[in-house]
């Protein structure tokens, strides 16, 4: 008599079946032996936890006001915000330019579109840099 799937999963026979894991053969239901990748992943996780701790200088939740002010007082964060702003603007506007160029506009329109996107990018970069600098100045007052 055939057992249904539920009965098979509950039976002891399933535990005795073997499978091939990334670390070799092991019994189903048991953890495979650790290898170098497991330890490297654990070390990487610890490193990431330590690095991300700098985003939480006052303890608590990263978006608590004390943490926002502490990051705003740091010149390193202000410079990082400005660098990320430039990278994000370039990435987004260059991607938009490529999407619009796939429509195959006439060469004069391509040139005009490129200049419009450059001017928009520079304008947004100036505004974002000003906002980051003012935020740094205000946070430094507290």
Domain regions of the chain by residue span: 5-52, 74-141
Contact status, residue 15 vs residue 29, Cβ threshold 8 Å: yes
User: What is residue 138's predicted lDDT score, i.e. its pLDDT?
Assistant: 92
Whose structure tokens read 């330590």? Answer: 50
3-state secondary structure of 78: helix
Contact status, residue 14 vs residue 8, Cβ threshold 8 Å: yes
Q: How many CB atoms lie within 10 A of CB 77?
A: 19
User: What is residue 44's predicted lDDT score, i.e. its pLDDT?
Assistant: 78
What is the helix (H) or strand (E) element at residue 20, kind and residue range?
strand 18-21
User: What is residue 136's predicted lDDT score, i.e. its pLDDT?
Assistant: 93
The verdict on pTM exceeding 0.85 is: no
> Which regions of the chain are under pLDDT 70?
1-34
27 has which bridge partners? 18
User: What is residue 25's predicted lDDT score, i.e. its pLDDT?
Assistant: 53
HSE of 64, CA atoms in CB hemisphere, 13 A: 11
Token pair, residue 1, equals 């008599």
User: What is residue 102's predicted lDDT score, i.e. its pLDDT?
Assistant: 95
Q: How many CB atoms lie within 10 A of CB 70?
A: 19
Whose structure tokens read 């040139």? Answer: 111
């Amino acid at each position: 008599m055939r057992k249904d799937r539920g009965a098979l999963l509950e039976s002891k026979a399933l535990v005795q079946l073997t499978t091939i894991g990334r670390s070799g053969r092991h019994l189903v239901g048991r953890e495979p032996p650790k290898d170098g990748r497991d330890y490297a992943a654990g070390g990487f996780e610890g490193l990431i936890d330590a690095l991300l701790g700098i985003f939480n200088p006052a303890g608590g939740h990263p978006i608590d006001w004390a943490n926002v002010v502490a990051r705003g007082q740091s010149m390193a964060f202000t410079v990082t915000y400005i660098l990320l702003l430039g990278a994000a603007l370039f990435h987004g506007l260059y991607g938009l330019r490529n999407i619009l160029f796939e429509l195959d506009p006439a060469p004069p329109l391509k040139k005009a579109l490129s200049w419009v996107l450059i001017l928009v990018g520079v304008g947004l970069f100036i505004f974002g840099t000003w906002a980051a600098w003012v935020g740094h100045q205000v946070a430094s007052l507290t």
